[in-house]
């Protein structure tokens, strides 16, 4: 029977009048069977069943087939359950997908997580893929874990998987030893369903759903929660798994212990360690090292407990390794207990555990912190004689010790030794030696050293350039700082607003160099760096000191256009500049403007104007000025009173001399 003939049968059945419940059921079964046949025909041709009939039939001819169209067929439609299993469209979809996955068993995936390879199946199957069908496909393809994963990723990109779908796939991947993939799926699971109950219970149910369940899934879930920073959820998952006899492995416990130790939750660390011992989780050296590290980072009382724990570790049959000793020595050095640290250093060598580079670096750092740089250098030489090659970290420890003691010559020699050994000074090394030279007032030797490093091809970090530019600006050498800025730009670094402001401030403090400062501002704007209030304050103050109050006002207007509100410093500079030029009316208008427009009541400008009035005008005018400004909100202070007293005294003396 071809498709038009089936549609004709549908039209005939649709016209039949049915009476009674039995006939209705038979009628529904007939319609469902018809649609299932249509569905199977379309599956074989790669097209979904359509609710619109092919020509020349009318829409009424397919009214019966529309009962099971993809638009109306879902989990709430009871008619699909009336079909035989072989004719049910959902069963047909599961059969087809399972068959396709088995055919693709040998396919090599471009992306192990199923990201490559294009579309796995036709999109017309999606309306017949409910979470139930996804689970059925996964269960029937348990022996094909990678194919199952790819199918899951394909469905995930179109519909939201249910918790049961996630749980089945996690068990399948864990059972087939694809641990990293199982962790990825669990990570997606807990991000999609955030509640612990929504994750734990489906995993538990999936292990009993004829699935190749694996108890390691619960340990993986603990690790996923821990790695996502959800330590409380990890603890809750661990507790539930233990109650059900599905205890996580040592790796999961160690991951959780490490997270608790980093968050300094020492009590929880020890509680969890007690649980591990009680339920018989096999401990390893990593477990002990985590706990010793936690103890050493705690209080001094905890460090004593670390020694006891080390003895307990040895009594359990575990020999401390170099990591254990390094952790303990670091804890001693942080508390200044150098004698104890070196005692442990001698013990580890006596027991046949050779100190490594980290061991020597820890001890050198402890000596340098205690101001014993000479002993640190001697230990460094001992390390070299024993065949341990230093790295940047060990050199930096010694370099920092020299710089803290002000031993600049030794620090320069150490840098040269470092370079000759094939190591390149990093940002920390360059910054440390530069700051030490600046602190010691040796800026010129520092510049020479940086020039030498640059000449031999060492990349100077931007933090060093910033430090040197600021130091030159503080010393009042803006031209040298400008040259260094150009070198910095040649090295591919772009200066920021802070450096530009520092340079402009230095230029402004030097006489007749405000043009250089303004040029820097234009250069900055040209590079897309927006000036801030500090920029405008520096420039306006500079212009007003030079008597260029008009240019200062223009900059203030520009600043306001940039939506930057002036501050009291700018008000004081403009008013003070007008007072210096004896432009008293302009100074008063500025005070009025700042008070009315920005509610800025700047006392130094106000007092400057009062003082000039007291010297240049009659006291009656000064009192009137004071009254006008006080009405605006300006408040007189001690300096105002001194100016008024001085003005009244001057006026009295002046009138007395006239009368005499």
pLDDT digits (tens, 9 = 90+) for 434-469: 999 999 888 898 999 888 888 888 889 999 999 999
Q: State the pLDDT at residue 318.
A: 78
The angle at the Cα of 513, spanning 507 to 517, to the nearest 5 degrees, equals: 55
The secondary structure of 567-605, three-state, reads: CHHHHHHHHHHHHHCCCHHHHHHHHHHHHHHHCCCCHHH
Q: Does the structure show a pLDDT above 80 at 204?
A: yes
Q: 206: pLDDT confidence band, cut at 50, 70 and 90?
A: confident
Q: 220: pLDDT confidence band, cut at 50, 70 and 90?
A: very high
**Cα(379)–Cα(342) distance, integer angstroms:** 11
Is the CB of residue 236 less than 8 Å from the CB of residue 248? Answer: no
Q: Does the structure show a pLDDT above 70 at 348?
A: yes
Q: Does the structure show a pLDDT above 80 at 51?
A: no
DSSP per residue over 503-516, as a string? HHHHHHHSTT-HHH
Taking the mean position of all CA atoms in its chain, how far away is CA 12? 67
Is the CB of residue 446 less than 8 Å from the CB of residue 475? Answer: no
- Burial grade of 657 (CB within 10 A; 0-12, 13-18, 19 or more): exposed
Cα four-point dihedral sign 115, 118, 120, 124: positive
**Residues in CB range of 196: below 8 A, 6 or more apart:** 233, 236, 237
Q: State the pLDDT at residue 296.
A: 76
Nearest to 282 by CA among 306, 258, 316: 316
Q: Does the structure show a pLDDT above 80 at 350?
A: yes
Taking phi over 0 as left and psi of -120 to 50 as alpha, with beta for the rest, 582 belongs to left
Q: What is the pLDDT of residues 590-615, one digit of tens each?
A: 999 999 999 999 899 899 888 888 88
Q: State the pLDDT at residue 304.
A: 59
Q: State the pLDDT at residue 24.
A: 39
Q: State the pLDDT at residue 218.
A: 92
What average pLDDT does this structure show over 286-302?
73
Q: Does the structure show a pLDDT above 60 at 74?
A: no
Q: What is the pLDDT of residues 223-268, one digit of tens each?
A: 999 999 999 999 999 999 999 888 899 999 999 999 998 888 878 8
Nearest to 533 by CA among 507, 571, 491: 571
Q: State the pLDDT at residue 305.
A: 65
Q: Does the structure show a pLDDT above 90 at 285?
A: no
Is the CB of residue 169 less than 8 Å from the CB of residue 138? Answer: yes
Average pLDDT for the chain: 80
More confident residue, 616 or 357: 357
Torsion of the alpha carbons at 527, 532, 536 and 538, rounded to the nearest 10: -100
**Cα(288)–Cα(312) distance, integer angstroms:** 10
More confident residue, 130 or 301: 130
Task: Give the H or E element holding residue 658.
Answer: helix 638-659
């Amino acid at each position: 029977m071809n498709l038009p003939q089936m549609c004709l049968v549908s039209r005939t059945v649709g016209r039949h009048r049915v009476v009674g419940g039995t006939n209705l059921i038979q009628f529904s079964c007939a319609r469902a069977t018809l649609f299932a046949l249509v569905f199977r025909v379309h599956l074989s041709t790669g097209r979904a069943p359509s609710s619109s009939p092919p020509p020349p039939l009318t829409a009424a001819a397919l009214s019966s087939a529309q009962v099971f169209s993809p638009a109306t067929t879902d989990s709430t439609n009871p008619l699909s359950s009336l079909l035989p299993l072989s004719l049910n469209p959902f069963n047909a979809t599961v059969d087809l997908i399972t068959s396709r996955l088995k055919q693709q068993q040998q396919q090599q995936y471009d992306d192990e997580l199923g990201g490559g390879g294009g579309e796995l199946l036709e999109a017309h199957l999606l309306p017949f893929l409910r979470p139930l069908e996804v689970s059925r496909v996964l269960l029937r393809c348990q022996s094909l874990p990678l194919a199952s994963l790819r199918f899951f990723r394909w469905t995930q990109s179109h519909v939201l998987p249910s918790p049961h779908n996630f749980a089945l796939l996690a068990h399948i991947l864990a059972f087939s030893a694809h641990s990293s993939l199982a962790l990825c799926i669990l990570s997606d699971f807990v991000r999609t369903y955030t509640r612990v109950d929504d994750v734990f219970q489906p995993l538990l149910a999936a292990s009993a759903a004829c699935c190749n369940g694996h108890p390691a899934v619960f340990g993986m879930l603990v690790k996923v929660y821990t790695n996502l920073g959800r330590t409380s959820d990890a603890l809750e998952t661990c507790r539930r798994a233990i109650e059900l006899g599905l205890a996580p492995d040592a790796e999961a416990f160690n991951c959780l212990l490490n997270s608790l130790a980093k968050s300094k939750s020492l009590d929880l660390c020890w509680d969890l360690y007690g649980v591990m011992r009680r339920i018989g989780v096999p401990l390893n050296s990593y477990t002990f090292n985590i706990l010793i590290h936690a103890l050493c980072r705690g209080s001094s009382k905890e460090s004593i407990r670390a020694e006891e724990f080390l003895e307990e570790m040895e009594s359990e049959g575990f020999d401390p390794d170099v990591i254990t000793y390094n952790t303990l020595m670091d804890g001693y050095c942080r508390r200044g207990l150098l004698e104890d640290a070196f005692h442990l250093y001698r013990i580890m060598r006596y027991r046949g555990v050779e100190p490594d580079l980290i061991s020597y670096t820890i001890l050198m750092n402890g000596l340098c912190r205690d101001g014993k740089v000479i002993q640190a250098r001697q230990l460094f030489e001992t390390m070299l004689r024993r065949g341990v090659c230093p790295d940047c970290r060990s050199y930096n420890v010694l370099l920092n010790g020299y710089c803290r003691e002000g031993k600049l010559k030794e620090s320069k020699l150490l840098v040269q030794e470092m370079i000759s050994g094939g190591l390149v000074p990093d940002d920390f090394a360059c910054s440390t030696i530069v700051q030490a030279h600046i602190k010691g007032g040796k800026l010129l030797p520092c510049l020479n050293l940086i020039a030498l490093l640059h000449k031999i091809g060492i990349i100077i970090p931007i933090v060093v350039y910033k430090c040197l530019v600021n130091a030159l600006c503080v010393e009042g050498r803006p031209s040298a700082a400008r040259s260094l800025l150009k070198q910095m730009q040649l090295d591919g670094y772009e200066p920021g607003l802070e450096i530009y402001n520092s340079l402009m401030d230095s230029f402004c403090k030097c006489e007749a160099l405000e043009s250089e400062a303004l040029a820097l501002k234009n250069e900055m704007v040209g590079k897309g760096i927006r000036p801030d209030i500090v920029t405008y304050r520096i420039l306006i103050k500079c212009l007003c000191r030079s008597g260029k109050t008009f240019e200062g006002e223009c900059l203030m207007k520009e600043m306001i256009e940039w939506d930057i509100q002036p501050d009291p410093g700018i008000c004081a500079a403009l008013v003070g500049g007008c007072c210096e030029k004896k432009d008293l009316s302009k100074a008063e208008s500025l005070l009025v403007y700042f008070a009315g427009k920005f509610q800025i009541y700047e006392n130094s400008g106000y007092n400057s104007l009062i003082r000039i009035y007291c010297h240049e005008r009659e006291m009656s005018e000064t009192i009137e000025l004071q009254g006008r400004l006080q009405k605006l909100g300006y408040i007189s202070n001690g300096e105002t009173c001194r100016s008024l007293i001085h003005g009244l005294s001057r006026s009295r003396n002046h009138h007395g001399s006239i009368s005499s």
